[in-house]
Structure 1
Amino acid sequence: MQVVVVGAGYAGMLAANRVAKKVKGARVTVVNPRPHFVERVRLHQRIAGTAEAAAPLESMARDGVRVRVGTVEKIGDGSALLADGTVLTYDYAFLAVGSTVRPLPGTIPVGVWEGAERARAALATLPPGGRVTVVGGGATGIETAAEIAESHPALRVRIVGPHVADVFTGRARETARKGLERLGVEIVDDGVEAVADDGTVRLASGASLASDLALWAIVSGVPALAARSGLSVDADGRALVDACLRSVDDERLFVVGDCAAVPGARFACALAGPQGAHAADTLARILAGRDPEAFSVRYLARAVTLGRHDAVGQLTERDDTLRPTRFTGRTAVVIKELATRGGKFGARTGIGG
């Protein structure tokens, strides 16, 4: 039986390795545009030079999983068309192309590998006193600004967003903002309208901020593959799926991770792995003649690092509603690091979810 997995992120690699483990005789092919697995949640560390964020795909694939570097242009009806004209046929497929970024002109996106590499190179050219503006007050922006400020203390770093650190509430939000300030990060609660060629950042309020490097730290939207393939998608381009994570147009095609329109799910690596695992298990159940089970979204917490030695997190209800309970300092650092390592471990082994 032929299985094609499009995308080698947390959801795709976990699904591929889990299918190879659970479905006897399955020949699994993973198609990815780059030859490495990217730990997206470590890209801010890659930019700052404090950690690596990629591993060869071959090192992430278990026996029975073949890796092919390429870009899928269209998928459906039992075949995947690659940009080089190759056609891969399949009995079942998994679409796991993740999410993407839509940066303003004049900024470098830090939420994707190629952008992170550009940001890393640009950062290295800045002189002491250089000004770095991180656009986006969510988790990606907070971690990027904090990591750069801690690792490059000679630079002046600011973070800009309508409500910086509003991924948290109450004391957890205050802790995140104070953590940024301790690292010397200037917090600007405002939107960004445009970035000029000289780096000047124009704010929604009409004010302007001089900047030598503007980094876009907002992840939004998904690759156009699902829509381009004629699959039913929502307003954001995410493929519509049934309760078992199958495309509503084709039961042979599972859609997992950020590119799947799962009710109640937001862009999060913490959900990508469980979706990949559930879809792989569903395929195993179907092939064994058992009824598939519905996927259930479950959140536990939100957390961000504030450099290498500090972090803050806040517990959530199952539906992602924030609870008052927070965790900070060394405890939060350990929890966040374990979660990050766990995501990669799950993707490499097919265990977890």
Structure 2
Amino acid sequence: MKVVVVGAGYAGTFAANRIARKVRSAEITPVNPRPDFVERVRLHQRLAGTAAAATPLASMLRDGIASRVGTAERIGDGVLTLGDGTDIGFDYAFLAMGSSVRPMPGAVPVGTWEGAERARAALAALPAGGTVTVVGGGATGIETAAEVAEARPDLRVRLVGSSVAGGFSGRARERVRSGLAGLGVDIVDDRVTEVTDGVVHLCSGAAFASGLTLWAILSGVPGLAARSGLRVDPEGRALVDEYLRCVDDERIFAVGDCAAVPGARFACALAGPQAAHAADALARLAEGRTPGPYSPRYVGRAVTLGRKQAVGQFTHPDDTLRRGYVTGRTAVLLKELASRGGKFAARTGTGA
């Protein structure tokens, strides 16, 4: 059985390793744009110079799995075509490309490896007294603003979003915002309309100078599924059935951010569970058994506020928020364990 895995982030690496464990006869080929496994949840640390975020992919894959560096151009009829024109045949494929970032002109994206590297260089070159503007009030924006503010207290840091920390509620939301303020981050609840010549313009009509503007909003997914004629949702995510197979081709599974799973949002926390379920479904099919349906289950949401603070709020399985939350060193420890656990699960194909 030949299996091709498009993308080698959390979902793709997890899927490849789990298939190798479950389907011993499988010949697995992960295809990734770079030779490294990138911990997306640590990109804000990478750009601030507080942590590494890349590990050689070869060290993340089980023995016998050989990856290929390349970009996927089209998939269908049992063939994956790469950007250089090379074709890779498959019996089954896993789409695990993750989500994409489409920054406003004049802003540097922080949700990709390339963007984080550009931001890292620009931040290092920014002199004391300069201003950094982070656009996006979700987890990526919050963690980026906090990390930069803690690593570079000589800079002024602004966080602009229509509802900063809106993914939390009640006291947990208050703790996130007060934690940012404690690091010296200026919170601006507004929308950015334009970034031109180092000036950030807002919906309210306000404008201010910015030495470096970082874009921390995820939007849509890579266009492989749509480009290949697979049915997608308005965000470009591949439509899947209850087993995480593309509705147009049962040989193609889609997992992680690029899959339109009912009730799922863009979240690294779902990458492993979806990859595990799809890999197990393939194993069942290989044995002539019927796979079970997938249903997303959430536990909580958490953000770090630099290296010493964090806030985590518990959720119901359907992702609605509970009142309970944790802060301080307990929250920092839980978030760090979750981040390390995600990488360990991807490398071993276990858990989830």
TM over 0.5: yes
Equivalent in the alignment of 1:225: 224
Amino acid at match of 1:317: H
Secondary structure, counterpart of 1:65 in structure 2: coil
Amino acid at match of 2:216: A
Q: Name the Cα RMSD after superposition.
A: 0.6
Equivalent in the alignment of 1:46: 46
Amino acid at match of 1:89: G
The question of whether the paired residues in 2 share the 8 Å contact of 1:241 and 1:261 is answered with: yes
Q: CA deviation at 1:279?
A: 0.3
Distance 2:100 2:60 in 1: 22
Q: CA deviation at 1:223?
A: 0.4
Deviations 1:4-26 (A, max 9, x none): 00000111000000001110211
Normalised by the length of structure 1, the TM-score is: 0.99
Structure 2 counterparts to residues 83-232 of structure 1, below 5 A? 83-197=83-197, 199-232=198-231
Amino acid at match of 2:256: G
Consecutive aligned runs of 4 or more in structure 1 exceeding 6 Å deviation = none
Structure 2 counterparts to residues 4-43 of structure 1, below 5 A? 4-43=4-43
Deviations 1:55-74 (A, max 9, x none): 00101100121110001100
Amino acid at match of 2:314: L
Amino acid at match of 1:335: L
Secondary structure, counterpart of 1:52 in structure 2: coil
Deviations 1:294-330 (A, max 9, x none): 0010000000000000000100000100110010000
Structure 1 unaligned residues grouped into runs of 5+: none
Q: CA deviation at 1:242?
A: 0.1
Structure 2 counterparts to residues 337-352 of structure 1, below 5 A? 337-352=336-351
Deviations 1:29-68 (A, max 9, x none): 0000111000000000001000000100101100121110
Distance 1:176 1:209 in 2: 24
Distance 1:10 1:242 in 2: 21
Distance 1:232 1:175 in 2: 41
Distance 2:76 2:97 in 1: 15
Instruction: Give the percent of matched residue pairs that are identical in Structure 1 and Structure 2.
Output: 71
Secondary structure, counterpart of 2:66 in structure 1: strand
The question of whether the paired residues in 2 share the 8 Å contact of 1:162 and 1:189 is answered with: yes
Structure 2 counterparts to residues 197-346 of structure 1, below 5 A? 197=197, 199-346=198-345
Equivalent in the alignment of 1:58: 58
Deviations 1:267-292 (A, max 9, x none): 00000111001000000011111111
Distance 1:235 1:156 in 2: 37
The question of whether the paired residues in 2 share the 8 Å contact of 1:239 and 1:247 is answered with: yes
Q: How many residues get paired?
A: 352
The question of whether the paired residues in 2 share the 8 Å contact of 1:26 and 1:64 is answered with: no
The question of whether the paired residues in 2 share the 8 Å contact of 1:20 and 1:63 is answered with: no
Distance 2:201 2:29 in 1: 46
Amino acid at match of 1:267: F
Amino acid at match of 1:21: R
Distance 1:290 1:330 in 2: 46
